Amino acid sequence: MGDDIAADLRLAPTFVFSLMSVALTTGAVLCLVMFAMTFGLTKEPAT
């Protein structure tokens, strides 16, 4: 039983880290896409 708790404690940080990295990557991609779309929309009428 003690081994299971130790294993959970070892796995928890990596699980949280992977979740955070996935969330950060998704957020960065969404920001880039929105930025590109806004940039494209503002560029088209000006051209």
Report the Cα 24 to chain-centroid distance in Å: 2
Give the domain ranges of the chain.
1-47
Report the Cα 44 to chain-centroid distance in Å: 30
- Measure the CA–CA gap between 5 and 8, rounded to whole angstroms: 5
pTM of the model: 0.53
Max mean pLDDT among 1-5, 11-15, 29-33 falls in: 29-33
The model's confidence at residue 45, banded by pLDDT at 50, 70 and 90, is low
Each residue's pLDDT tens digit, 15-44: 889 999 999 999 999 999 999 888 877 666
- Measure the CA–CA gap between 7 and 3, rounded to whole angstroms: 6
